[in-house]
């Protein structure tokens, strides 16, 4: 960012919505609120194998009331991790407000069947307010030898039928969970200003997990829905939200808020390599906000985009906000897309990139070759983001490093060892160059972050889900 003072001023203020936008927001909240959860989670996919055709049951989890493994309303389990081995295809897990660290505080849950994970309930499981008073928070600790895998990893593509053929079909849903990897990260000198990717056996600290908050790898014909979730402080190479679907499948990613992550805020992935146009996976990505997407590390040339799309998929991308990425807003690696009414703001290198062609938002309609002729309404604007002043000042005062700067600073010294290496025709050893930034993915708290996702701006971006 060129103007640090301007950045701090911009991201400390709240954008005021007008009356028309408020009416639009109300309609949109009703449309994707939890009132539609029953319809959304029912298995209506006709392309479903025998193993995945189970009707499923309802499970209940409560941090404060939980005990044992019955998982009923009257006697809920204490943590999702405690009942994972009991889950069957199409089970529905309802999780009350509270902070969850998984079984044994291991900080990661892996599920291998299609299920629905729904958070934001009160302890009676009658009310929901997932970004308000009833937050369901998935996190962990940075204890040595704890898991560094994704906080929620749902992978169904290896499940098999009795005849050994792979299972397929059904649906996966994740709705209303806040994923915060801050407590799982290792920070330099415990100052919460810069993550470290290596473990420290001396201090008994794990590396910062190089994984996302939500990672889903679905079977073929298995549809996926991720909505009303928050993912923050994660340090993946790929997506903070990563969804991979296979042939014949569809994915809906809507009303999610990704803030302060490395890699990509959202990563739409495909597992289909065929040419049948009817089988190519399709994504609908709408009303999401991704902010402050960092490169993989201080001198990396990859990551740092709000949304990334694999090739060999199609997507409708509407009404999202992609802002303040270290590289760009949307990185399209070859997907054919409809791109409408999205907002790009504060991205360092580009707003939209097609394979190797980078462009600004105003040039997309003229220069992009992978978007449909109907694509329009994408804009760039200076928006005000209601992130906390404390964090804004830290972010605004960071010093960026680049590979070129590091390479330029690395010169060979004239030591006796280098003189010998020179005579033997070996490469010379350079001076030690500092490659770790003092500020890199600084910790942002849930309370500091959530107001920034409560938009939308001109009808674009995420919003606080309607309490029920």
**pLDDT, position 301:** 82
Separation of CA 368 from chain center:
26
Q: Is the peptide bond before 14 cis (omega within 30 degrees of 0)?
A: no
CB count in 10 Å sphere of residue 156: 27
Residue 21: which H helix or E strand, with range? helix 19-32
Nearest C-alpha neighbor of 89 from the set 58, 60, 56? 56
- CA distances from residue 312 to 155, 300, 308, 358 in whole angstroms, order as listed: 21, 26, 13, 20
Expressed in percent and rounded to 5, the helix, strand and coil fractions of the chain are 20, 30, 50
Written as tens digits, the pLDDT of the chain (468 aa) is 444 444 444 334 333 333 333 444 455 455 555 444 433 444 568 899 999 998 999 999 999 999 999 999 999 999 999 999 999 999 999 999 999 999 999 999 999 999 999 999 999 999 999 999 999 999 999 999 899 999 999 999 999 999 999 999 999 999 999 999 999 999 999 999 999 999 999 999 999 999 999 999 999 999 999 999 999 999 999 999 999 999 999 999 999 999 999 999 999 999 999 999 999 999 999 999 999 999 998 888 889 999 999 999 999 999 999 999 999 999 999 999 999 999 999 999 999 999 999 999 999 999 999 999 999 999 998 888 888 999 999 998 887 765 454 344 444 455 556 555 555 555 655 554 444 578 999 999 999 999 999 978 889 999 999 888
Query: Residue 436's pLDDT is what?
Result: 58
Tallying the residues shown for the chain, one arrives at: 468
Secondary structure E strands in 341-416: 343-345, 350-354, 357-359, 379-380
pLDDT at residue number 428: 54
List the beta bridge partners of residue 268: 243, 309
d(CA 62, CA 170): 27
* Assigned CATH for 18-384+448-453: 2.160.20
Say how far apart CA 318 and CA 391 lie, in whole Å.
29
Flag whether the pTM goes above 0.85. yes
What's the confidence (pLDDT) of residue 283?
Answer: 98
Question: Which pLDDT score, from 0 to 100, does residue 251 have?
Answer: 98
| Residue 23: predicted pLDDT | 47
267: its two tokens: 């990563």
The full set of domain ranges for the chain reads 18-384+448-453
Contact 167, 43 (CB under 8 A): no
């Amino acid at each position: 960012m060129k103007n640090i003072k301007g950045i701090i001023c911009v991201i400390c203020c709240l954008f005021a919505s007008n009356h028309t936008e408020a009416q639009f927001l109300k309609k949109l909240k009703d449309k994707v609120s939890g009132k539609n959860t029953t319809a959304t989670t029912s298995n209506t996919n006709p392309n479903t194998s025998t193993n995945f055709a189970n009707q499923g049951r309802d499970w209940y989890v409560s941090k404060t009331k939980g005990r044992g493994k019955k998982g009923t309303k009257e006697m809920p389990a204490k943590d999702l991790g405690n009942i994972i081995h009991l889950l069957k295809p199409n089970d529905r897990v309802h999780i009350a407000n509270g902070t969850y660290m998984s079984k044994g505080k291991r900080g990661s849950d892996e599920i291998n069947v299609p299920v629905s994970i729904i958070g934001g309930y009160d302890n009676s499981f009658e009310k929901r307010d997932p970004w308000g008073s009833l937050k369901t928070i998935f996190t962990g600790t940075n204890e040595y030898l704890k898991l560094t895998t994704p906080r929620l990893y749902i992978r169904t593509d290896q499940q098999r039928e009795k005849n050994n053929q792979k299972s397929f079909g059904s649906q996966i849903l994740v709705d209303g969970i806040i994923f915060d990897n801050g407590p799982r990260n290792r920070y330099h000198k415990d100052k919460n200003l810069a993550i470290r990717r290596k473990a420290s056996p001396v201090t008994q600290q794990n590396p910062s997990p190089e994984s996302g908050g939500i990672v889903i790898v679905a079977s073929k014909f298995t549809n996926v829905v991720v909505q009303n979730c928050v993912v923050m402080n994660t340090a993946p190479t790929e997506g903070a939200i990563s969804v991979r679907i296979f042939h014949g499948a569809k994915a809906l990613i809507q009303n999610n808020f990704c803030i302060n992550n490395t890699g990509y805020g959202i990563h739409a992935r495909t597992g289909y390599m065929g040419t049948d146009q009817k089988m190519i996976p399709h994504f609908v990505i709408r009303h999401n906000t991704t902010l402050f997407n960092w490169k993989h590390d201080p001198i990396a040339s990859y990551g740092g985009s709000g949304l990334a799309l694999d090739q060999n998929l199609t997507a409708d991308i509407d009404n999202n906000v992609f802002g303040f990425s270290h590289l760009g807003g949307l990185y399209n690696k070859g997907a054919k897309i409809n791109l409408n009414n999205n907002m790009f703001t504060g991205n360092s290198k580009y707003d939209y990139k097609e394979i190797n062609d980078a462009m600004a938002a105003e040039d997309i309609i003229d220069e992009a070759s992978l978007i449909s002729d109907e694509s329009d309404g994408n804009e760039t604007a200076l928006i005000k983001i209601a992130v906390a002043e404390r964090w804004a000042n830290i972010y605004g005062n960071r010093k960026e490093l680049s590979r070129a700067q590091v390479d330029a600073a690395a010169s060979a010294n004239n030591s006796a060892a280098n003189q010998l290496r020179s005579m033997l025709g070996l490469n010379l050893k350079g001076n030690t160059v500092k490659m770790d930034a003092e500020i890199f993915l600084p910790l942002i708290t849930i309370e500091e972050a959530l107001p920034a996702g409560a938009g939308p701006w001109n009808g674009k971006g995420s919003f606080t889900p309607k309490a029920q």
